Chain A
Amino acid sequence: MDAIILQILNGLDKGSAYALIALGLTLIFGTLGVVNFAHGALFMIGAFCAVTLNRILTLSYTIIDDTQKDFLGNPLKVDVPYVHGLFGQATGDAIIDWAVPLSLIFAIPVMILVGVVMERGLIKHFYKRPHADQILVTFGLAIVLQEVIKYFYGANPIPTPAPAAFKGSLDFGAMLGFDPNLIIYPYWRIIYFGFAAVIIGGVFAFLQFTTFGMVVRAGMADRETVGLLGINIDKRFTIMFGIAAAVAGLAGVMYTPINSPNYHMGMDFLVLSFVVVVVGGMGSLPGAVLAGFLLGVLESFASMREVIDIIPGINQIIIYLVAIIILLTRPRGLMGRKGVMED
């Protein structure tokens, strides 16, 4: 029982990341009709917003410490962050420690700007082109973006830890009456799950309860009619692209303490997120979220030693296996709508 609870927790946590990325993907597909293979790169750029802010906060001046030697035997050059001078050492260290949460504020305008530039500068030229063209150009864009990041930040992962207050793990099992240490879960992953729930809820509320959202939903259902009513739907769709980019970027920022960001992390998530979107149903927001969590939980169960012992290799194929089964039985995915991507 404890193992099952643990893997459900794991699955919800994995599913959070899948759902957040897939949500943005399907939002773009639903509004603009674009299959955006550069969406994983937006997740990666978000993560590098956290790296960048961390570097800004740790910008330093160098002092020479004659009492210590460097590896060549010269007096040691010691870097002192400017924030120490501005706010004092204790406050400066606290600001650096909270770099990841602070990056959320930094990432929102950056990601909206990146999204809008991407949409206006490149993707809008491919609205009426076949999906194959869209996939090619966005995939190419993703590779360009990751190479740009690699050029500036290198190929190695860059540690970006969570604030010290969130280090360690919660003994969930002990709270439920199990033996200690049986079901433990890191605080930051619990926060990530809560954060994902808030973002997903926020996007749904925005689309459901605001006039802007209502127009966007109407545009998703029938773009031409909304245009005939004199509403500039293109402008709203551009804003939605920016919002989708921000969602992916924020997911990336919060993910950095879980795995040290590297230039390739967007690609690592991209394929899985596309499977999530297809399984959930192209263009369906609830479908993307449902499929994200479903596949996350299934992937976690398939990673259990007991399961691998029975079906070797199942951990590597489970997501694709489930995708095949769902698409065979429900060709439009779990919550797909008739007519979407069927022309």
Chain B
Amino acid sequence: MPKLDVSRRGLLRTGAVAGAGLALPTIFTAQSAHAFTNEPTGGTVTLGFNVPQTGPYADEGADELRAYELAVEHLNGGGDAGMMNTFSSKALQGNGILGKKVEYVTGDTQTKSDAARASAKSMIEKDGAVMITGGSSSGVAVAVQALCQEAGVIFMAGLTHSNDTTGKDKRANGFRHFFNSYMSGAALAPVLAGAYGTDRKAYHLTADYNWGYTTEEAVKSSTEAMGWDTVAAVKTPLTQTDFSSYIAPVLQSGADTLVLNHYGGNMVNSLTNAVQFGLRDKQVNGKDFQIVVPLYSRLMAKGAGANVKGIFGSTNWHWTLQDEGSKAFVKSFGTKYGFPPSQAAHTTYVQTLLYADAVERAGSFAPCAVAEALEDYEFDGLGNGKTLYRGADHQCFKDVLVVKGKENPTSEFDLLEIVEVTPVDQVTYDPDHPQFSGGALGTCNNGA
């Protein structure tokens, strides 16, 4: 066996030369060849779908993922093209985005901010995702949005309802199609006043985290403006499962309306507990006791079962809408998967199309060019009527649905009925509205 005669100094010298040689392409090309982070150079472009695949919102995440896969299929020219047929913009041709075939990677947010950031980071750094989208919680959306801003990629938020996502935590690289707490309050209050009168005493139970606070504030201010009085607002731990000790004192407070600022499992449990306590069978102040759930989700309504019957709430979109865009989406999704899509599926599908359309109109994947194409962009045909992506805060402004738990559902999907389509003007606010103050978009980041 030949003996290798390698000195320590020789090894170091050779290693240094080899290392410099290997590093050379990166050092000289990283800044010059790529104008922005993950600029697609081949025949494909990669999108990152960051949804809860495990954890309590896994079913919602699964529906989001179905919608993303459907959107990719349509963008690449497959299926029946869904909402691309009804979208007011005709920039999308079914040949991918800017002629590049759309591919995707997925991450699991676990509905935890740190896990969501880690999976988004991995998709950006390892998989070369040029855009990140998804999420089923405001905490996750805000965390991932900040990460995308730093990394220089566009973030198209999924289901996030807190005012803060496009309020104090807004970012120039982040965009939200979903509605927010303020809009829920503004849409709900007049309907509640019409149904239950203007002389009501409300008792709020609020999930003790960011989304809960903004929803409580929004519903309180909207209903108080209608003449309602807020008797009490009690914070409940996010981990609470049995709400009996919070619900039992409600009647003793003199309140005749209970507002449950809860979402997900919290909403299912608190509503179930409230109905168990027979609150809705009681009369207080000479009126029938009522319960309100500001943010409804069909998937959550399913968990609460018959308890949602007759209870008002708001939602971003519902599959029973009869506009051409909604019908096209329900047909595409229903044919592919066998059941109607949720509002989470709708917003994520629409966000994917909107991103692709903005890239086509901008003629570039560069985040700042895409952001410019999205800002103050008006469109129609995607299920909520005429919509504006406002440039000042990157929030979509469109009609909001007020819904009610259906008394006689015909299927497990037919749980909510649309009571009113609140016109966009009624839910529009100034960018510097107090409920959204405290943050700034900053400047767009192309990264690289």
| Known A-B contacts A7-B248, A14-B242, A157-B265; A72 and B331 likewise in contact (beta carbons under 8 Å) | yes
Stretch at the interface among A196-204, A206-214, A246-254, A296-304: A296-304
Smallest Cβ distance from A70 to chain B, in angstroms? 8
What residues of B have a CB within 8 angstroms of the CB of A316 in the complex? 208, 237
CB of A57 closer than 8 Å to a CB of B: no
What residues of A have a CB within 8 angstroms of the CB of B330 in the complex? 71-72
Give the residue of B55, B57, B245 whose beta carbon is less than 8 angstroms from that of A303. B245
Count of chain B residues near A, Cβ 8 A? 54
CB of A159 closer than 8 Å to a CB of B: yes
What residues of A have a CB within 8 angstroms of the CB of B55 in the complex? 155
Q: Which residue from chain A places its CB closest to the CB of B275 in the assembled complex?
A: A167
Stretch at the interface among B185-193, B302-310, B395-403: B302-310
Q: Assess the A71–B277 pair: CB atoms within 8 A.
A: no
Q: Assess the A189–B251 pair: CB atoms within 8 A.
A: no
Smallest Cβ distance from B321 to chain A, in angstroms? 12
Q: Assess the A188–B276 pair: CB atoms within 8 A.
A: yes
How many angstroms from the CA of A316 to the CA of B239 in the assembled complex?
9
Q: Assess the A155–B245 pair: CB atoms within 8 A.
A: no
Q: Categorize the interface residue count of chain A.
A: 35 or more
Give the residue of B54, B237, B278, B281 whose beta carbon is less than 8 angstroms from that of A315. B237
CB of B384 closer than 8 Å to a CB of A: no
| Known A-B contacts A161-B305, A168-B281; A3 and B252 likewise in contact (beta carbons under 8 Å) | yes
Q: Assess the B242–A259 pair: CB atoms within 8 A.
A: yes
CB of B383 closer than 8 Å to a CB of A: no
| Known A-B contacts A169-B276, A259-B242; A181 and B284 likewise in contact (beta carbons under 8 Å) | yes
What residues of B have a CB within 8 angstroms of the CB of A260 in the complex? 268-269, 272, 303-305
Of residues 12 through 44 on chain A, the ones whose CB sits less than 8 Å from some CB of chain B are: 13-14, 17
Give the residue of A150, A186, A304 whose beta carbon is less than 8 angstroms from that of B277. A186
Of residues 161 through 202 on chain A, the ones whose CB sits less than 8 Å from some CB of chain B are: 161, 167-169, 181-182, 184-186, 188-189
- Interface flags for A263-285 (1: CB within 8 Å of B; 0: not) read 01100110000000000000000
CB of B35 closer than 8 Å to a CB of A: no
Q: Assess the A159–B241 pair: CB atoms within 8 A.
A: no
What residues of B have a CB within 8 angstroms of the CB of A134 in the complex? none
Q: Assess the B56–A155 pair: CB atoms within 8 A.
A: yes
What residues of B have a CB within 8 angstroms of the CB of A169 in the complex? 276-278, 281
Q: Assess the B303–A156 pair: CB atoms within 8 A.
A: yes
What residues of B have a CB within 8 angstroms of the CB of A258 in the complex? 242, 272-273, 276
How many angstroms from the CA of A192 to the CA of B229 in the assembled complex?
36
What residues of B have a CB within 8 angstroms of the CB of A71 in the complex? 319-320, 330, 334, 339-340, 411, 413-414
Smallest Cβ distance from B113 to chain A, in angstroms? 19
CB of B132 closer than 8 Å to a CB of A: no
| Beyond known contacts A10-B244, A168-B278: 5 more, CB 8 A cutoff | A70-B411, A71-B413, A156-B303, A186-B278, A188-B276
> Which A residues contact B (CB, under 8 angstroms)?
2-3, 6-7, 9-11, 13-14, 17, 68, 70-72, 76, 150, 154-159, 161, 167-169, 181-182, 184-186, 188-189, 257-260, 262, 264-265, 268-269, 299-300, 303-305, 308, 315-316
